[in-house]
């Protein structure tokens, strides 16, 4: 299925309305039209009695038009007005309304089946208020061909990897721009230089709650690792190991760590993969798994790895294993590399119709309230919108 090209992105939700009379169900439906400049659409929230008794019980309809507003300004579900016609003709008005709404719901319930979880935003689309407590933000910070990913929910933050040593100023500058002044957690997927280098500078500049690191690298040593350990000690940052299958929460987001847990496994293949779940949306940060590691994790954890967004493993250098694709089934992929070096994985993604974007073409920001991802890219000053950019997908 082509992504990002549908004229409509509808979805239908069901939930039980607090305080509704016993046996009543409330239904929520939301339809977003999309235009270049704005999100136009209709939010509809209806709670009603069962159709047999329509006209006997009072029912309520909330209708809210949302036109020309940006994502951040869409009002909450339950804003609106009560619609309860009475008097002469009131009953037939209610019946007609009910029939029309049922038809409308059925049409869009069908369309929701193929609704997309991804919305690719243009530079003109206003970014939501990134400090909202109810949004999960994932920032793939451009640190050249290396990994550096920030998770944030409200005031809660976690930095996953940090690029090479020289990149730390890019990271701290970006933190200043988006208002990150502390990190609750720092997480090292594995101790290679292109993943831990930036921490050496970042940890001296920003207060950090806990440093999380993987097991099975205890015997790994490098001059950079030694230097980083000194920085961790100097700043008295508590360190903790993460275990495969271990879970924790960052705000309301559930984090699960996965690892091919053996010290004899090749170094990249024992790097720790992190799955983040928020509402019904998911992202998998696949560290530096090579093809063998991808297959092993698929064998060990299967559909638990399923995710909307995949941070492509090992900078897209290796093949994209079919077993791993079957487990994850991503709708979108980010690659921390250049086209030339990531050719194998890019070919695999393209063949499977998974849209992909390079972090080297500009920092990528994915934001979700739990239902749908909204993805922006901040293009590099010298970048032109082409292959490997979000603009290319949106075309
Ligand atoms: Zn790497």
The pLDDT of residue 108 is above 70: no
Lowest mean pLDDT among 23-37, 82-96, 138-152: 23-37
The domain limits of the chain are 11-116, 119-394
The confidence band for 204, taking pLDDT boundaries of 50, 70 and 90, is: very high
Buried b (16+ CB within 10 A) or exposed e, 236-250: ebeeeebebeeeeeb
Q: 281 - beta bridge partners? A: 278
HEC assignment per residue over 158-197: EEECCCCHHHHHHHHHHHHHHCCCCEEEEECCCCCHHHHC
DSSP result, 215-265: SS-TT---HHHHHHHHHHHHTT--EEEE-TT-EEEETTEEEEEE----TTS
Q: How far is the CA of 13 from the centre of ligand 1 (A)?
A: 40
Q: How far is the CA of 289 from the centre of ligand 1 (A)?
A: 9
- Contact between 272 and 257 under an 8 Å Cβ cutoff? The reply is yes
Please list all protein residues whose beta carbon sits less than 5 angstroms from ligand 1, which is an ion.
194, 288
The pLDDT of residue 54 is above 50: no
Task: Kindly state the average pLDDT of the residues 18-43.
Answer: 33
**210-243 residue pLDDT tens:** 999 999 999 999 999 999 999 999 999 999 999 9
The pLDDT score that the predictor gives to residue 109 is 56
Classify residue 31 as exposed, middle or buried by CB count within 10 Å of its CB (0-12, 13-18, 19+): buried
The confidence band for 14, taking pLDDT boundaries of 50, 70 and 90, is: very low
**283-307 residue pLDDT tens:** 999 999 999 999 999 999 999 999 9
Q: Residue 127 and residue 390: Cα distance in Å, rounded?
A: 15
Q: How far is the CA of 375 from the centre of ligand 1 (A)?
A: 24
- Contact between 310 and 149 under an 8 Å Cβ cutoff? The reply is no
Q: How far is the CA of 23 from the centre of ligand 1 (A)?
A: 55
Q: How far is the CA of 359 from the centre of ligand 1 (A)?
A: 14
- Strand locations in the chain, DSSP E? 11-15, 25-34, 39-48, 60-69, 118-120, 136-140, 149-153, 156-160, 183-187, 208-214, 239-242, 247-250, 253-258, 273-278, 281-285, 309-311, 332-335, 356-358, 362-368, 373-379
Hey, what's the torsion of the CAs at 167, 319, 310, 349, to 10 degrees?
120
Q: How far is the CA of 373 from the centre of ligand 1 (A)?
A: 26
Residue entry with tokens 């831990």: 196
Q: How far is the CA of 279 from the centre of ligand 1 (A)?
A: 29
Half-sphere exposure of 240 (CA within 13 A, CB side): 12
The pLDDT score that the predictor gives to residue 45 is 36
Q: Residue 246 and residue 287: Cα distance in Å, rounded?
A: 16
**Is it true that domain 119-394 has CATH number 3.60.15.10?**
yes
The pLDDT of residue 60 is above 60: no
Task: Kindly state the average pLDDT of the residues 135-162.
Answer: 97
- Contact between 263 and 218 under an 8 Å Cβ cutoff? The reply is yes
The pLDDT score that the predictor gives to residue 384 is 85
Task: Kindly state the average pLDDT of the residues 116-132.
Answer: 90
Q: How far is the CA of 290 from the centre of ligand 1 (A)?
A: 10
What is the average pLDDT score of the chain?
A: 80
* Cβ atoms within 10 Å, residue 41: 21
Lowest mean pLDDT among 106-110, 185-189, 376-380: 106-110
More confident residue, 290 or 133: 290
More confident residue, 80 or 298: 298
Residue entry with tokens 């994209």: 320
Q: How far is the CA of 315 from the centre of ligand 1 (A)?
A: 6
Q: Residue 36 and residue 395: Cα distance in Å, rounded?
A: 11
Q: Residue 72 and residue 195: Cα distance in Å, rounded?
A: 33
Q: How far is the CA of 247 from the centre of ligand 1 (A)?
A: 24
Q: How far is the CA of 356 from the centre of ligand 1 (A)?
A: 18
Q: How far is the CA of 190 from the centre of ligand 1 (A)?
A: 9
Q: How far is the CA of 312 from the centre of ligand 1 (A)?
A: 11
| 8-state DSSP, 389 | S
**321-358 residue pLDDT tens:** 999 999 999 999 999 999 999 999 999 999 999 999 99
Q: How far is the CA of 161 from the centre of ligand 1 (A)?
A: 9
The pLDDT score that the predictor gives to residue 102 is 67
Q: How far is the CA of 354 from the centre of ligand 1 (A)?
A: 22
Q: How far is the CA of 187 from the centre of ligand 1 (A)?
A: 14
The tokens for 279 are 């509402």
Residues 6 or more apart whose CB falls under 8 angstroms from that of 29 comprise 10, 11, 12, 13, 44, 45, 46, 104, 105, 108, 109
Q: How far is the CA of 355 from the centre of ligand 1 (A)?
A: 22
- Contact between 175 and 181 under an 8 Å Cβ cutoff? The reply is yes
The pLDDT of residue 24 is above 90: no
Q: How far is the CA of 337 from the centre of ligand 1 (A)?
A: 10
φ, ψ (nearest 5 deg) of residue 372: -150, 145
The pLDDT of residue 32 is above 60: no
Q: How far is the CA of 144 from the centre of ligand 1 (A)?
A: 11
Q: How far is the CA of 241 from the centre of ligand 1 (A)?
A: 20
Q: How far is the CA of 183 from the centre of ligand 1 (A)?
A: 22
């Amino acid at each position: 299925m082509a992504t990002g090209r549908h004229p409509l992105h509808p979805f239908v939700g069901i939930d039980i309305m607090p305080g509704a009379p016993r046996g009543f169900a409330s239904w929520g439906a939301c339809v977003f039209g999309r235009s270049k400049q704005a999100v136009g659409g209709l939010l509809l929230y209806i709670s009603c009695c069962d159709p047999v008794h329509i006209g006997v019980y009072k029912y309520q309809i909330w209708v809210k038009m949302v036109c020309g507003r940006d994502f951040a300004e869409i009002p909450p579900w339950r804003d609106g007005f009560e619609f309860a016609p009475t008097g002469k003709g009131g009953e037939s008005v209610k019946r007609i309304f009910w029939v029309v709404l049922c038809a409308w719901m059925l049409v869009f319930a069908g369309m929701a089946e193929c609704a997309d979880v991804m919305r690719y935003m243009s530079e003109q689309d206003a970014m939501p208020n990134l400090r909202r407590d109810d949004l999960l933000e994932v920032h793939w910070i451009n640190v050249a061909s290396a990994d550096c990913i920030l998770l944030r929910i409200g005031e809660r933050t976690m930095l996953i990897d940090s690029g090479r040593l020289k990149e730390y100023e890019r990271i701290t500058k970006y933190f200043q721009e988006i208002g990150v002044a502390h990190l609750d957690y720092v997480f090292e997927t594995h101790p290679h230089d292109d993943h831990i280098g930036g921490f050496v500078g970042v940890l001296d500049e920003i207060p950090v709650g806990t440093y999380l690191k993987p097991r099975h690298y205890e015997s790994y040593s490098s001059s950079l690792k030694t230097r980083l350990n000194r920085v961790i000690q100097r700043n008295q940052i508590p360190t903790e190991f993460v275990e495969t299958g271990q879970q924790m929460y960052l705000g309301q987001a559930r984090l699960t760590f996965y690892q091919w847990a053996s010290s004899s496994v090749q170094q990249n293949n024992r790097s720790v993969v992190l799955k983040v779940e928020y509402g019904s949306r998911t992202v998998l940060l696949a560290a530096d798994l090579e093809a063998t590691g991808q297959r092993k994790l698929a064998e060990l954890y299967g559909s638990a790895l399923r995710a909307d967004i995949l941070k492509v493993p090992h900078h897209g250098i290796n093949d994209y294993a079919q077993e791993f694709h079957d487990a994850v089934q991503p709708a979108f992929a980010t690659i921390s590399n250049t086209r030339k070096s990531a050719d194998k994985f890019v070919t695999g993604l393209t063949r499977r119709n998974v849209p992909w974007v390079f972090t080297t073409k500009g920092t990528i920001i994915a934001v979700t309230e739990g239902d749908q991802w909204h993805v922006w890219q901040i293009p590099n000053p010298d970048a032109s919108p082409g292959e490997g950019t979000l603009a290319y997908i949106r075309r």
